[in-house]
Structure 1
Amino acid sequence: MDGMAIADPRPSLMVTNDDGIDAPGLRFLVDLLVAADRYRVLVCAPDSDQSGVGHGIAWRRPLSAKRVEIMGATAFAVSGTPADCASLGISGKLFVGTIPDLVISGINIGSNCGYHIVYSGTVAGAREAFLYGVPSLAISYNWKEGKSNVHALRLAADACLPLINAVLNELKTKTYPEGSFLNIIVPTDVANHRGFKITKQGKFMIRFGWEQTKTSTPAVETYQNANIDVDSASGFGNNASSSLVEDELLFKRVIIKKNSVEAEEDTDHRAMEEGYITITPLGALSRTEMEAVPYFKGWLMRLADHSPCSSL
């Protein structure tokens, strides 16, 4: 934290994620931001993989924050969720006296679109900052096994840099809207992407079931068990396994159904599959299904017919 109180005219960017502070998506993004030499780069990210934790927070226990050496950045690994990291990082307590101008959560391995936004720790990191009035972006890359490689994560970071700069410019001129944060998804073939496209959250979802297993090897691909062949990725975690203890049953998630590409235009998943870098403005509240409101108004009026007193 030495020197954090020294005035610096550059905008402050804070990076977090849900894959963990050692994840290559985060490291490549931070390296790019540092190399640009246009920003003060702060990092506050989980000390372990927190994929799929949604907007969970630590409530009853204190969090540990440990300094991590990332060249050109001030970085901490935190024993909490992405929402915890975002909250702590924008508090002014960790980076003494500094509240970031912009929070970037990512780059996540795997697309956070459609209904998957509910589960996403990456999106939650951006949402938490937004809830406290700090502009934020969530960025994910549509990793596909057999088609993706670690170089694509570098390209994804580079492709999103103009967007980051555009947001910072809007913030500087005080023309950036305060009512939403942005969920950005980079397509698999990022080298040949078709440009940026404003989209809306769709209903795409990979549906999971359960199968009994005998080991605790992770069933879902993360940066720790993805097919990543790069020197900088060496040492990123291990696939632990354990034998069954007496009376213990182990179950793993398995994919049972993948929705096809949505027919509705301008949804995040469809545009991503068409090769666009999608930009979806999100709010903090769940979207109301307006067509259901008249039904439930009538349903509420009929509640008296089903009350215990009505039979007396």
Structure 2
Amino acid sequence: MEAANNVAECERPTIMITNDDGIDAPGLQALVRVLVSTNRFRLFVCAPDSEKSAVSHSITWRNALSAKRTEISGATAFAVSGTPADCTSLGISKALFPSVPDLVLSGINMGSNCGYHIVYSGTVAGAREAFFYGVPSVSISYDWVGGISSINDFTLAAEACLPIINAILVEINNKTYPQKCFLNVDLPTDIPKHKGYKLTKQGKSIVKMGWKQVASDAQGNSISNMLSTMTNDPNSAVSNADAKAVSQDNLLFIRQVKGGAVDDGETDYRYVKEGYITVTPLGALSHADIDCQTFFKEWLPAVAEHTSSAL
């Protein structure tokens, strides 16, 4: 009987989960619970031991990482002292787990990751790192809005993603899943009333940030949640009281929301705000717009010619 159980376990597809909100974050915990409840997957978790929001694709290079075994029911889990990209790299390397996962999921992030925010996102980087090494991957984010969203919404988000996850694994098993992209999935705030899945492209939406001088680290820490989700009321930024009292030799500044820019095309941000679950294929290369290519095609030879004539 034990041998039969081992065979059945090996036949299950393996999913590895990471994130950037930290291994104890409700989004990751909800995703694991929902996947465990299906009894269809073997689950590995390799996630940061603390919040690593907006670290983009940074990696740990000079120092050793620690990986501490953590209890998460239904999964083999480790909390790692590194970035999301570190966690994915370690998790798919076979140095920590016995096999390479069939699929990597990064999330569920607290806050959407659309437009230019994809560049900042540690959640997206967790999926992108797997893509670098040929492992299918998906980053998942929920459009959390303070005062409206609740922790239970992460469970609804995970359940809404199950059809996508199952369909991807079918394609992987059939060896028909595309190798030249990974997926970025964003779920709308009102998940029970979502309008279905929508294939989109990355837009240019962004929350623009400025800087504000503060008197102490405590003031900066008080808005860390606002900066990590980029969805809260920009008017909630702390006051600038006593900022002038700070020593001129050690000035302290915090980021502050200054406004935003939204593109009107058929993009990820537009459709997630309209209530769709957006599915955006992403690659690792940044292709410049065609007009930029045209400009520099003419500009660069002129630079070279000018340089030669000046010698």
Q: Counterpart in 1 of 2:49?
A: 47
Residues of 2 paired with 1:148 and 1:39: CA distance?
Answer: 29
Q: How do residues 109-258 of structure 1 correspond to structure 2 at under 5 angstroms? A: 109-216=110-217, 217-221=221-225, 247-258=249-260
Residues of 2 paired with 1:225 and 1:289: CA distance?
Answer: 29
Q: Letter of the 1:219 partner, please give it.
A: I
Q: Counterpart in 2 of 1:237?
A: none
- Residue 270 of structure 1, CA deviation: 0.4
Residues of 1 paired with 2:225 and 2:67: CA distance?
Answer: 27
- Residue 178 of structure 1, CA deviation: 0.7
Would the aligned equivalents of 1:109 and 1:222 in 2 still touch at CA under 8 Å? no
Question: What is the alpha-carbon root mean square deviation over aligned residues?
Answer: 2.1
Deviations 1:210-251 (A, max 9, x none): 00112321423279999xxxxxxxxxxxxxxxx978832211
Runs of 4+ off more than 4 Å:
222-226, 243-246
Deviations 1:66-112 (A, max 9, x none): 0000011000000100000000000011012x110000000000111
**TM-score, length-scaled by structure 2:** 0.88
Would the aligned equivalents of 1:23 and 1:223 in 2 still touch at CA under 8 Å? no
Q: Counterpart in 2 of 1:103?
A: 104
Q: Counterpart in 2 of 1:295?
A: 295
Would the aligned equivalents of 1:102 and 1:134 in 2 still touch at CA under 8 Å? yes
Distance 1:162 1:177, change over 3 A: same
Q: Counterpart in 1 of 2:237?
A: none
Percent sequence identity over aligned pairs: 56
Residues of 2 paired with 1:310 and 1:219: CA distance?
Answer: 55
Deviations 1:170-203 (A, max 9, x none): 1111111111000000001111000000000000
Query: Which of the pair is proportionally richer in helix?
Result: 2
Q: Counterpart in 2 of 1:233?
A: none
Distance 1:269 1:86, change over 3 A: same
Q: Letter of the 1:199 partner, please give it.
A: T
- Residue 42 of structure 1, CA deviation: 0.5
Distance 1:50 1:222, change over 3 A: farther
Q: Counterpart in 1 of 2:27?
A: 25
Would the aligned equivalents of 1:19 and 1:222 in 2 still touch at CA under 8 Å? no
**TM-score, length-scaled by structure 1:** 0.88
Would the aligned equivalents of 2:200 and 2:267 in 1 still touch at CA under 8 Å? yes
Residues of 1 paired with 2:254 and 2:298: CA distance?
Answer: 42
- Residue 305 of structure 1, CA deviation: 4.5
Q: Letter of the 2:87 partner, please give it.
A: C
Would the aligned equivalents of 2:110 and 2:229 in 1 still touch at CA under 8 Å? no
Distance 1:87 1:218, change over 3 A: farther
Q: Letter of the 2:267 partner, please give it.
A: T
Q: Where does the alignment leave 5 or more consecutive residues of structure 2 unmatched?
A: 231-244
The number of residue pairs the alignment matches comes to 288
Q: Letter of the 1:310 partner, please give it.
A: S
Stretch deviating more after TM superposition (144-153 or 74-83): 144-153
Residues of 2 paired with 1:118 and 1:25: CA distance?
Answer: 20
